[in-house]
A and B are shown apart, each in its own frame.
Chain A
Amino acid sequence: MATDLRISNVSKIYPGCIANDNVSLQFKSGKIYALLGENGAGKSTLVKILSGVVSPDNGEVFLNEKNLKLSSPLDAKKNKIGMVFQHFNLFETLSVFENLSIDATEDNKSLRVRINEILKKYNFSIDLDVPVLNLSAGQKQKVEIIRCLLRSPKVLIMDEPTSVLTEQETEELFISLKKFCDEGILIIYITHKLKEVLSLCDEVAVMRKGKVVSVSQTQNERVETLANKMVGQKLAKIKKKINISKNKDEIFKVKHLNFYSDDPFETNLVNLNFSVKKGECLGIAGISGNGQNELFQILSGEIITPDTSIIFRNKEIAKLNPKQRREYLMAFSPEDRISQAAVPELKIYENVALNNFKSSNFFEKGLVNEKKIKEHSKKILSDFSVNTDNVELKSQFLSGGNLQKLILGRELITAPELLICYNPTWGLDVGAINYIHETLIKINNQEKSTILISTDTEELLKLSDRIAVIYKGKLSKIMPSEEVTPEKLGVLMGGGSID
């Protein structure tokens, strides 16, 4: 029986951001559909709505013209919508069979028979009696898929399924997905990898900023055209004056940056080399999860990697911790402003004291100099137009924008020579974004340098003098930003290559 899934005028608004803005889409079985978009484009929210994890504020979902009221993941299951998430929901210490039998409705014997049928039919080779922790990522994903197949789903949603897979496993997955599709299961494939869309899917819907911007047949698309749609061509009107000058000194130079992690959720970095000139902004683009976290922590000194050379103002600083690096006039603004850059439970002035120099005298002979810290904090609040003058306020009461202003203020008031920031405007409203962009441009104009790691391409094109793209822990060549187009960036971010 043919399946027809229709999303009609779905909207979901979170405080401060519209995740889905009047989204309408139609899917029919027999085809593989791609849902493509950057981070924060609204793909995940839409998927969560389809799987019953969140309820939409507006709009409806129809399955074969039946209006679905999905108020919990259980409802989605009952309506034969299966979902394989990016991060697996398996009990590592239980065996594969135990994992599959947890929510099964039949007895173990017939369940085992059915699982074996599925294994045979799709050529999956998984030992049912080994603990899940012994499986590879690809095998774990197969267990999740089997779990869905056991319920004979009509719709199968795959959320960024290849992000943890090897090339070989990816190919196997694609073969299986095509088989499912031939059997009449409707497949919705969520990704930001352009090549996968072209090689696997029949139709592609592109989302940007919560809206569906295009629906088209993949045979009419190329990597470049999709990249264009995904990133959007709308460029900021006030682009800053590029101030690259060949003669300027290199203030910061990284050589042989390698990072290897045992943690499967971290990305390994492979031989990164780059430098930053005085007064320059180096942008590092990329879809999140391609090594930006690790790169930021290595640049800030939270992770020390052996054999890496980091030269800053003619001194080797690779072995120094963040506090020592600050003494050399570096400053850092991490992505996670709520639990890393600041502590919500601490008062504003206490958060200011986190960035403390010998010369700032916040702590004299081991004692807290509250008066000094408070004076300094007051200055930050007024200089960076934070919307309060009460330094005793706990920072959890600041809005995201004001908190980010406070953090940037704290980092910048010491007039650092280099500021490294990671997604500085993530989740902020337009006013705050503008303020922060202006601030970043201003410090470049004062001959101070910045490294801007960001997943927001618009921001990168607006602020950077040179741009490189990080993909799977590798850095592309560094390009002057006037040579960079959104299209080029999109291709590189999706793992393609240019020229």
Chain B
Amino acid sequence: MALYFFTPFIAIILTILGGGIIFYILGFNPIEALKFYFLTPISNLYGLSELLLKATPLCLIAIGLSFCFKSNNWNIGAEGQLTFGAIVGGGVALLFYNQEGFYILPLIIIAGAIGGMIFALIPAILKTYFNTNEILVSLMLVYVSKLLLDYLVVGPWSNPEGFNFPETRQFSDSSRMPLLFEGLRIHAGIFLALAAVMLSWFVLYKTYLGFKIKVSGLSLKTAKYAGFKGKTMILVVFMISGACAGLAGVGEITGPIGQLHRMISPDYGFTAIIVAFLGRLNPFGIIFASLVVALTYLGAETAQIFLQIPKYTGQVFQGMILFFLLASDYLLFFKVKILSLKKNELRH
């Protein structure tokens, strides 16, 4: 059991080692490069604020995904739910583009959550009533929502004064998340993420719904035998997951971005899958994991500036984390036995 929560640390250490080796092969001093990657970005207040800014959507989405994953529902399309939530929330923000009022931001947030929820319901309903595979459906819907966003920002919703740039108008000040500190980009969305952590802990560990999710995740046969209504639960966990992703999307567009354009998320929805597993699907583990993974985003940017390596190394690191996590899980819980086979035995 202790090992179960220990393997994420092993995975992180192995990732750092692996990264060092890659930097060495690329011709950099690995220690220096790793310092640029993991320490420089958070060595000042601005960097810390950026870390929290990136961790916020990751944490929110991963919390939502943990409901799905814990109950054996494989929602891979959080990126699509994020996008659709941003579209719905952004739509509301654009309605009020020339107005101010305290009620606007809450409206946008609620609209975004509902948008994500609706978009997550599509794979859920198809799964419960038509037996489709939720992995495929939710994944493919990502591209649907991205293309829809694309269409909106170049077409009907594009800024009339925007010289045909693929973006909408700037949202009004009342549509923006309040900043926490002057001069830093960290915004009130972080409280949404923290609230989601608390709430999910309560739901998962203290309610009947949480109990049903846990049992279904461990054994679908037992859930069936106990008479849990499987269909309702699938719908509920997808809705929770979609709402969280939608909130993350709204947080981005009303926070650092302030409008809708094509690139509202650097694949937060996909990266959050890694966060959810690195955090062991545990609400507090997810906080920790989201900070670690957010750092790979920041590190990639610093590395691009100081070492002239593409920022896609961030994805390499994220991939390595998942790879090492799965590998250490596998190798820690299984016994490895090396068998020697003689050559003639192989031939027969």
Interchain CB contact (< 8 A) of B207 among A339, A342, A343, A368? A368
Closest A residue to B344 using CB positions: A78
For A346, list chain B residues within 8 Å (CB).
Answer: 214-215, 218
Interchain CB contact (< 8 A) of A339 among B221, B228, B229? B221
Mark each residue of chain B from 123 to 153: 1 if its CB lies under 8 Å from any CB of chain A, else 0: 0000000000000000000000000000000
Q: How far is the CB of A488 from chain B (nearest CB, A)?
A: 33
**C-alpha spacing A339/B209, complex, angstroms:** 21
**C-alpha spacing A194/B16, complex, angstroms:** 65
B224 within 8 A of A: yes
List A residues 341-381 near B (Cβ within 8 Å). Answer: 341-343, 345-346, 350, 353-356, 363, 366-368
Mark each residue of chain B from 185 to 222: 1 if its CB lies under 8 Å from any CB of chain A, else 0: 00000000000000000000111111100110011011
**C-alpha spacing A310/B251, complex, angstroms:** 54
B335 within 8 A of A: no
Tell whether, in the assembled complex, residue A77 and residue B348 are in contact, meaning their CB atoms are under 8 Å apart.
Answer: yes
Tell whether, in the assembled complex, residue A363 and residue B222 are in contact, meaning their CB atoms are under 8 Å apart.
Answer: no
Tell whether, in the assembled complex, residue A300 and residue B225 are in contact, meaning their CB atoms are under 8 Å apart.
Answer: yes
Closest A residue to B227 using CB positions: A323
Q: How far is the CB of A362 from chain B (nearest CB, A)?
A: 8
Interchain CB contact (< 8 A) of A343 among B206, B218, B228? B218
A131 within 8 A of B: no
**C-alpha spacing A42/B210, complex, angstroms:** 43
Residues of chain A at the chain B interface (Cβ within 8 Å): 74, 77-78, 105, 300-302, 321-326, 332, 334, 336, 339-343, 345-346, 350, 353-356, 363, 366-368
Interchain CB contact (< 8 A) of A366 among B207, B225, B228, B345? B207
For B343, list chain A residues within 8 Å (CB).
Answer: none
Q: How far is the CB of A249 from chain B (nearest CB, A)?
A: 26
B3 within 8 A of A: no
Interchain CB contact (< 8 A) of B208 among A324, A325, A336, A363? A363
B17 within 8 A of A: no
Closest A residue to B210 using CB positions: A368
Q: How many A-B residue pairs have CB under 8 A?
A: 67
Interchain CB contact (< 8 A) of B226 among A77, A322, A363, A368? A322
For B210, list chain A residues within 8 Å (CB).
Answer: 368
Q: A343-B218, A345-B218 are in contact. Are A354 and B226 (CB under 8 A)?
A: yes
Tell whether, in the assembled complex, residue A78 and residue B221 are in contact, meaning their CB atoms are under 8 Å apart.
Answer: no
**C-alpha spacing A301/B227, complex, angstroms:** 8
**C-alpha spacing A302/B220, complex, angstroms:** 11
Tell whether, in the assembled complex, residue A343 and residue B211 are in contact, meaning their CB atoms are under 8 Å apart.
Answer: no
Tell whether, in the assembled complex, residue A74 and residue B345 are in contact, meaning their CB atoms are under 8 Å apart.
Answer: yes
Tell whether, in the assembled complex, residue B225 and residue A368 are in contact, meaning their CB atoms are under 8 Å apart.
Answer: no
Q: How far is the CB of B340 from chain A (nearest CB, A)?
A: 12
Q: How far is the CB of B165 from chain A (nearest CB, A)?
A: 49
Q: A322-B225, A322-B227 are in contact. Are A367 and B219 (CB under 8 A)?
A: no
Tell whether, in the assembled complex, residue A343 and residue B215 are in contact, meaning their CB atoms are under 8 Å apart.
Answer: yes
Tell whether, in the assembled complex, residue B345 and residue A302 are in contact, meaning their CB atoms are under 8 Å apart.
Answer: no
Tell whether, in the assembled complex, residue A321 and residue B227 are in contact, meaning their CB atoms are under 8 Å apart.
Answer: yes
**C-alpha spacing A422/B224, complex, angstroms:** 16
Closest B residue to A364 using CB positions: B208
Interchain CB contact (< 8 A) of B222 among A300, A323, A342? A342
For A355, list chain B residues within 8 Å (CB).
Answer: 226
Tell whether, in the assembled complex, residue A350 and residue B211 are in contact, meaning their CB atoms are under 8 Å apart.
Answer: yes
List B residues 217-253 near A (Cβ within 8 Å). Answer: 218-219, 221-222, 224-229
**C-alpha spacing A301/B347, complex, angstroms:** 52
Tell whether, in the assembled complex, residue B208 and residue A366 are in contact, meaning their CB atoms are under 8 Å apart.
Answer: yes
Tell whether, in the assembled complex, residue A368 and residue B208 are in contact, meaning their CB atoms are under 8 Å apart.
Answer: yes
Q: A105-B348, A336-B221, A339-B221 are in contact. Are A367 and B226 (CB under 8 A)?
A: no
For B211, list chain A residues within 8 Å (CB).
Answer: 350, 353, 363, 368
Interchain CB contact (< 8 A) of A302 among B215, B225, B348? B225
**C-alpha spacing A353/B348, complex, angstroms:** 54
Tell whether, in the assembled complex, residue A334 and residue B348 are in contact, meaning their CB atoms are under 8 Å apart.
Answer: no
Closest A residue to B1 using CB positions: A394
- A-B contacts, 5 of them at CB < 8 A, read A74-B345, A78-B348, A321-B229, A322-B224, A326-B227
Q: A324-B227, A332-B225, A366-B207 are in contact. Are A354 and B215 (CB under 8 A)?
A: yes
Tell whether, in the assembled complex, residue A368 and residue B215 are in contact, meaning their CB atoms are under 8 Å apart.
Answer: no
For A332, list chain B residues within 8 Å (CB).
Answer: 225
Mark each residue of chain B from 105 to 130: 1 if its CB lies under 8 Å from any CB of chain A, else 0: 00000000000000000000000000
List B residues 270-310 near A (Cβ within 8 Å). Answer: none
What 16 new A-B contacts, CB under 8 Å, besides A302-B225, A324-B227? A74-B345, A74-B348, A77-B348, A105-B348, A322-B227, A334-B225, A340-B219, A340-B221, A342-B222, A343-B218, A345-B218, A346-B214, A353-B211, A354-B222, A367-B207, A367-B208
**C-alpha spacing A321/B222, complex, angstroms:** 13
**C-alpha spacing A354/B215, complex, angstroms:** 9
**C-alpha spacing A414/B209, complex, angstroms:** 23
Tell whether, in the assembled complex, residue A323 and residue B208 are in contact, meaning their CB atoms are under 8 Å apart.
Answer: no
Q: How far is the CB of B209 from chain A (nearest CB, A)?
A: 7
Closest B residue to A325 using CB positions: B227
**C-alpha spacing A321/B226, complex, angstroms:** 9
Closest A residue to B208 using CB positions: A363
**C-alpha spacing A74/B218, complex, angstroms:** 36
For A350, list chain B residues within 8 Å (CB).
Answer: 211, 214
Across chains A and B, which 8 residue pairs bring their CB atoms closest together, nearest first? A323-B227, A322-B227, A363-B208, A340-B221, A354-B226, A321-B227, A343-B218, A302-B224
Q: A342-B222, A343-B218 are in contact. Are A366 and B227 (CB under 8 A)?
A: no
**C-alpha spacing A340/B219, complex, angstroms:** 7
Tell whether, in the assembled complex, residue A367 and residue B348 are in contact, meaning their CB atoms are under 8 Å apart.
Answer: no
For B205, list chain A residues within 8 Å (CB).
Answer: 368
For B221, list chain A residues within 8 Å (CB).
Answer: 336, 339-340
For B348, list chain A residues within 8 Å (CB).
Answer: 74, 77-78, 105
Interchain CB contact (< 8 A) of B219 among A325, A326, A343? A343
**C-alpha spacing A346/B229, complex, angstroms:** 20
Q: How far is the CB of A104 from chain B (nearest CB, A)?
A: 10
Q: How far is the CB of B202 from chain A (nearest CB, A)?
A: 9
For B214, list chain A residues within 8 Å (CB).
Answer: 346, 350
For B222, list chain A residues within 8 Å (CB).
Answer: 339-343, 354
**C-alpha spacing A314/B226, complex, angstroms:** 23
Closest B residue to A334 using CB positions: B225
Tell whether, in the assembled complex, residue A323 and residue B226 are in contact, meaning their CB atoms are under 8 Å apart.
Answer: yes
Q: How far is the CB of B221 from chain A (nearest CB, A)?
A: 4
Interchain CB contact (< 8 A) of A368 among B206, B227, B228, B229? B206
Q: How far is the CB of A408 from chain B (nearest CB, A)?
A: 14
Tell whether, in the assembled complex, residue B227 and residue A367 are in contact, meaning their CB atoms are under 8 Å apart.
Answer: no
